[in-house]
C-alpha cells in the first residue's frame, strides 16, 4: 500500500473499507514537513518525557513510604477491611440497600458486569462513522455518566471511612513483655484495664500504653476521669493503688 510518501509502515486508517469515506482521514503527507521520523528524533523526546516522569515518580516514592500494617491476625474480628482506592467504587456500590443483602447479585455482578461489559464492547455499541464526542451524544453521555458514578462512589466511600480508626486498627504493635508480678499490673488486672489495653498493654480496643509520653499525674487523671472513648469511673481502687498503677505504666519503656 504505497500511498503518499510511500512509507511502508505509516498506516493511518489505511485498511480499505468499501469506500466509506468518513473513516479514512487525510494521509500524513497532507501535512508536509511536519511529520517526524520516529527513530531517532521522536524517540529521544519520548525518553526525555520519560526521564522527567521518572524523576517525579521517584520523588513520590522517597517522600511517602509504602504502608505496611501489622501481620495478619485471622482471629481479630473487629478489623474493618478497606480495599485499595481504585476498588473503592465497587466497595461503596455494595453498601446500598438495593445492591446488598438479597440484592447482592445486583451490586456484585449485574451492575459492574453491564458497565465493564459495555466498555469492552464499546466499538460494537457505538458503530457510527462519527468520531467527535459531540456528534455521538449517546456514547459520550454514557461514558460521562459512568465516570461521574465512579468518582461519586469513590468519594462517598472515602468520606464515610474513619481514617483515624483504620490507621489505629492496622498499626504495628510493639509487644513488650511486662512484669506480671508487679503490684501495678495486679491493680490493672483487678480494675479491668487489660480488657481494652491488652495483657501486655499492647492495646486492643484501647490504645497501647507501652512507652507513653504522659506524666504519672496525667495517667492518674485518665484512669479516674476517662479520656476520649474511655468513660470515667473505671478505676475503683484506693489512692495508693492508683499511684502503683501510674508508676507501673510509666516504668514500661518501648523496646526500640
- Rounded to a whole number of angstroms, the minimum distance from the CB of residue 153 to another protein is 15
**Residues in Cβ contact with 229 at an 8 Å cutoff, skipping those fewer than 6 apart:** 206
Residue 181 has a CB neighbour count (10 Å cut-off) of 7
Which CB contacts under 8 angstroms, 24+ apart, belong to 219-224? 219/245, 219/246, 219/249, 219/250, 220/245, 220/246, 223/191, 223/193
Stretch that binds another protein, among 83-91, 195-203, 212-220, 246-254 (CB under 8 A): 83-91
143, HSE (Cβ side, Cα atoms, 13 Å): 13
Q: Which of 44, 55, 84, 229 binds another protein (CB under 8 A)?
A: 84
> Between residue 36 and residue 55, which ones bind another protein under the rule CB under 8 A?
36-40, 42-43, 45-46, 49-50, 53-54
CB closer to another protein, 184 vs 198: 198
Q: Which of 6, 19, 66, 233 binds another protein (CB under 8 A)?
A: 66
> Between residue 235 and residue 254, which ones bind another protein under the rule CB under 8 A?
none
- Rounded to a whole number of angstroms, the minimum distance from the CB of residue 231 to another protein is 27
Cell numbers placing 77: 474480628
Torsion over CA: 90, 96, 99, 100 (sign) = positive
Stretch that binds another protein, among 29-37, 153-161, 183-191, 218-226 (CB under 8 A): 29-37
Distance separating alpha carbons of residues 214 and 228, to the nearest angstrom:
15
Q: Which of 65, 163, 213, 229 binds another protein (CB under 8 A)?
A: 65
> Between residue 128 and residue 167, which ones bind another protein under the rule CB under 8 A?
129-133, 136, 139-140, 143, 147
Size of the site for another protein (CB under 8 A): 84
Q: Which of 2, 21, 34, 160 binds another protein (CB under 8 A)?
A: 34
Q: Which of 161, 170, 183, 202 binds another protein (CB under 8 A)?
A: 170
Q: 227: which strand partners? A: 230
What is the per-residue burial (b if ≥16 Cβ within 10 Å, else e) of 57-89? eeeeeeeeeeeeeeeeeeeeeeeeebeeeeebb
Residue 118 has a CB neighbour count (10 Å cut-off) of 16
- Rounded to a whole number of angstroms, the minimum distance from the CB of residue 150 to another protein is 9
CB closer to another protein, 58 vs 189: 58
Helix or strand holding residue 139 (H, E): helix 137-159
Distance separating alpha carbons of residues 250 and 180, to the nearest angstrom:
15
CB closer to another protein, 42 vs 236: 42
Q: Which of 104, 205, 215, 251 binds another protein (CB under 8 A)?
A: 104
Q: Does 175 bind another protein (CB under 8 A)?
A: no
> Between residue 195 and residue 234, which ones bind another protein under the rule CB under 8 A?
none
Amino acid at each position: 500500500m504505497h500511498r503518499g510518501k510511500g512509507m511502508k509502515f505509516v498506516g493511518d486508517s489505511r485498511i480499505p473499507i468499501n469506500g466509506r469515506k468518513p473513516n479514512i482521514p487525510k494521509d500524513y503527507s497532507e501535512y508536509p514537513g511536519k511529520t517526524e521520523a520516529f527513530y531517532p528524533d521522536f524517540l529521544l523526546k519520548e525518553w526525555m518525557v520519560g526521564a522527567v516522569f521518572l524523576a517525579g515518580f521517584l520523588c513520590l516514592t522517597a517522600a511517602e513510604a509504602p504502608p505496611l500494617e501489622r501481620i495478619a491476625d485471622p482471629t481479630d474480628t473487629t478489623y474493618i477491611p478497606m480495599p485499595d482506592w481504585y476498588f473503592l467504587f465497587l466497595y461503596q456500590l455494595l453498601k446500598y440497600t438495593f445492591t446488598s443483602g438479597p440484592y447482592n447479585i445486583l451490586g456484585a455482578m449485574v451492575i459492574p458486569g453491564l458497565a465493564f461489559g459495555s466498555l469492552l464492547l464499546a466499538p460494537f455499541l457505538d458503530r457510527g462513522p462519527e468520531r467527535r464526542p459531540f456528534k455521538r451524544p449517546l456514547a459520550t453521555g454514557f461514558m460521562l455518566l459512568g465516570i461521574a458514578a465512579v468518582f461519586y462512589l469513590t468519594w462517598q466511600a472515602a468520606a464515610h471511612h474513619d481514617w483515624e480508626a483504620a490507621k489505629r486498627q492496622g498499626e504495628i504493635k510493639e509487644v513488650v513483655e511486662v512484669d506480671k508480678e508487679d503490684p501495678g499490673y495486679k491493680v490493672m488486672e483487678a480494675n479491668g484495664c487489660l480488657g481494652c489495653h491488652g495483657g501486655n498493654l499492647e492495646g486492643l480496643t484501647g490504645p497501647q500504653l507501652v512507652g507513653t509520653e504522659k506524666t504519672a499525674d496525667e495517667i492518674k487523671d485518665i484512669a479516674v476521669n476517662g479520656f476520649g472513648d474511655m468513660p470515667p469511673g473505671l478505676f475503683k481502687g484506693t489512692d495508693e493503688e492508683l499511684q502503683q498503677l501510674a508508676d507501673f505504666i510509666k516504668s514500661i519503656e518501648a523496646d526500640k
